[in-house]
Amino acid sequence: MLKLLFADERGQVYEHPELLALVRDGLPVDVPVPLPQHATLAALPGRRPVGFDPASGSAVELSEVRVGKKVVKPMAVAAVLPPGWTRSELPAYRKLSIAPVLPQWAYTAAAWDETRGLHVAWALHTDKRTHWDPSTHSTPDLPGLVRDRLAGDDNPLLRQLSRCALEYRCFTAQNTFYVRDEGAIPASSGCNARCVGCISEQPPEGPPSSHERIGKSPDAEFMARIGIDHLRAAPGRTMVSFGQGCEGEPLTRAREIASAIRAMRAATRRGSININTNGSLPSSLALLIDAGLDACRISLNSAHKPLYEAYYQPINYGWEEVRESIRLARRRGAYTALNLLTFPGVTDQEGEAEKLCELVARERVDQVQARSLAIDPDQYLAVAARTSAGGPRIGMRELLRRLRGARKGLVIGNFARGLGERARSAGA
């Protein structure tokens, strides 16, 4: 029996003695998994839990509940998953008129499994590699590593990265100080999109953004110095990536980044140079590939133009340019990944799935990173309601199965692939 979860005003989570768990679309089609390690449960302010009453056979809103001697006005509860997992269902709740916009997390349906005696969540384990495991990041020695690095290097970009590593707990920024795997090089304070769920810049009426956008774009020299140090020394999946959570769109600074890449490649041939981008400026991407960029990850919430543009709110570019960037990157031999921002109920609609499969097959994409879009569900559903490609839900598991079928050798995962892994998957 999967029991409904609710939280009291202090955020303490309980399971309801009778009511069963529902997901946003009603009774769940998929089987939940035990709550993954490092996942958390979050109370949703201004949202009443909605559960299933087996006695009446209907969905009921929980507006009051007795906990011990007191009567509680319950809040709905959702899980927030760690890296490596993709959400497959949204939480069920009724939003009160006074409800605040929720902060940017990927709210996932969760419940109490009475039979197994544990919390469960509707999630798919889409990347089992362990190098992004939270237990290997934010470790007690990190502040010391940051302090020592800053003491020995006056690079102003390192000061930004120290904030990202210690305050935002960005794992890619932390890797720069751990000197391993994928390191971060933020490059741009400006952006040519206005994503509804932007994590580095939000309008006054929006939720607080989870990162503060960098104030000043770094010079090519400072970016190059960070890259050279990391590529020369970092073991593992040696890589540096432009385009981080704390910045705008790196392609808007292509000339400076190209100059930094040339300096890096003049200093070392080691590792991979990647960019995480919205793919808005194909000719700028070409400039970076000319300079030595060998991989790119292009973010999208949909391959359907109306929904893509309704969410990204692009300035002086459109879906066509994004598609051209994907095509160009493949044609130029760069490892091409899609950062697919998934949202159950929208991304797994029949029409959306068809568009994504066609894109992956036609443009011969190498990898799809199936991320969960971190946004207030009602905010996104308001955008998608009139712009998505539509059709019945096929489910997230089926969507990923069809994507794999659309392109032989397509890698589905959540994390960037190192040079060795790319060669192996290409060989396979």
Tokens of residue 332, six digits: 């130029």
Tokens of residue 173, six digits: 């920024």
Cβ closest to ligand SF4, residue 83 vs residue 250: 250
Nearest 5°: the CA angle 165, 274, 276 is: 70
Cβ closest to ligand SF4, residue 126 vs residue 278: 278
Q: Based on the shown chain and the rule CB under 6 A, indicate whether residue 194 belongs to the binding site for ligand SF4.
A: yes
Cβ closest to ligand SF4, residue 177 vs residue 312: 312
Neighbours of 184 (CB within 10 A): 28
- Alpha-carbon distance 105 to 289, whole Å? 33
Task: Write out the binding residues for ligand SF4, residues 199-258 only, by CB under 6 A.
Answer: 200-201, 248-249
Say how many residues touch ligand SF4, by CB under 6 A.
Answer: 10
Answer for which of 41, 193, 267, 419 binds ligand SF4 (CB under 6 A) is 193
Q: Per CB under 6 A, which region of 11-19, 119-127, 175-183, 189-197 contacts ligand SF4? A: 189-197
Q: Per CB under 6 A, which region of 110-118, 122-130, 187-195, 370-378 contacts ligand SF4? A: 187-195
Distances (CA, A) of 302 to 150, 214, 370, 374, 381: 41, 27, 12, 15, 13
Q: What is the strand order of the sheet 295-300 is part of?
A: 182-185, 239-242, 272-277, 295-300, 335-342, 367-372, 411-413
CB of 250 to ligand SF4, least distance (A): 9
Cβ closest to ligand SF4, residue 62 vs residue 285: 285
Question: Which residues contact residue 117 at a Cβ distance below 8 angstroms, ignoring those fewer than 6 apart?
Answer: none
CB of 160 to ligand SF4, least distance (A): 15
On whether the CB atoms of residues 406 and 340 are closer than 8 A, the answer is no
Answer for which of 19, 184, 198, 373 binds ligand SF4 (CB under 6 A) is 198
* Packing angle of the helix pair 156-166, 171-178 (nearest 10 deg): 120
Closest CA to 313 of 172, 195, 170: 195
Q: Per CB under 6 A, which region of 91-99, 197-205, 284-292, 410-418 contacts ligand SF4? A: 197-205
CB of 135 to ligand SF4, least distance (A): 28
Q: Based on the shown chain and the rule CB under 6 A, indicate whether residue 352 belongs to the binding site for ligand SF4.
A: no
Phi and psi dihedrals of 117, rounded to 5?
A: 65, 40
CB of 187 to ligand SF4, least distance (A): 11
Closest CA to 365 of 402, 314, 404: 404
Q: Based on the shown chain and the rule CB under 6 A, indicate whether residue 278 belongs to the binding site for ligand SF4.
A: yes
Could you write out the DSSP letters of every residue in 237-259? S-EEEE--TTSS-GGGGHHHHHH
Answer for which of 42, 92, 111, 191 binds ligand SF4 (CB under 6 A) is 191
Q: Based on the shown chain and the rule CB under 6 A, indicate whether residue 276 belongs to the binding site for ligand SF4.
A: no
On whether the CB atoms of residues 356 and 342 are closer than 8 A, the answer is no
Q: Based on the shown chain and the rule CB under 6 A, indicate whether residue 309 belongs to the binding site for ligand SF4.
A: no
Cβ closest to ligand SF4, residue 140 vs residue 208: 208
User: In the complex, which residues of this chain contact ligand SF4 (CB under 6 A)?
Assistant: 191, 193-195, 198, 200-201, 248-249, 278
